[in-house]
Amino acid sequence: MRLRLLLLAAAMTSANAFAQAPTVRYGELCDPCVPPAVRKSLSVQREPSQGAALRAEVESRLRGPFDTAARDGLLTREQAQAAGLGFIARNFDAIDRQGSGAIRFEDYKRFLKERGAALD
């Protein structure tokens, strides 16, 4: 009888201890790949781009990887694959209408616009 009472009291105390445990917070979630010094500079709030500024920003973000992988402004399927530009590599034949084996950024941009991209 005493043993039952002791076990019951212990179980109730344990359950209460877990139910009453304080919440511990370790800070806000963040990208673990971004170093803290860079994270601070990225946390500056700015107004979201709109209209022509937004389209220019999108084009700039598309052009950067393209220009990095391209040689003399021309990009081959192999260069696209090597640079990790899988979308371009998969759609290369549709982008390269002339079948020259190399595309310019304007060809890529035309391809995107034909599919509904709002680029200038």
List, in order of start, the domains of the chain with CATH numbers.
51-114 (1.10.238)
Q: What is the pLDDT of residues 46-100, one digit of tens each?
A: 677 788 888 888 889 899 999 999 999 999 999 999 999 999 999 999 999 999 9
Length of the chain equals 120
CA angle 119, 93, 109 (to 5 degrees): 10
Q: Which of 112, 116, 96, 115 is nearest to 104 (CA)?
A: 96
pTM of the model: 0.59
69 with 83: CB under 8 angstroms?
A: yes
In this structure, which amino acid lies at residue 114? E
Tokens of 96: 């390269």
CA distance 34 to 38: 6
Q: What is the mean pLDDT of residues 13-22?
A: 53
CA distance 85 to 106: 16
107 with 97: CB under 8 angstroms?
A: yes
Q: What is the pLDDT of residues 22-35, one digit of tens each?
A: 555 555 555 566 66
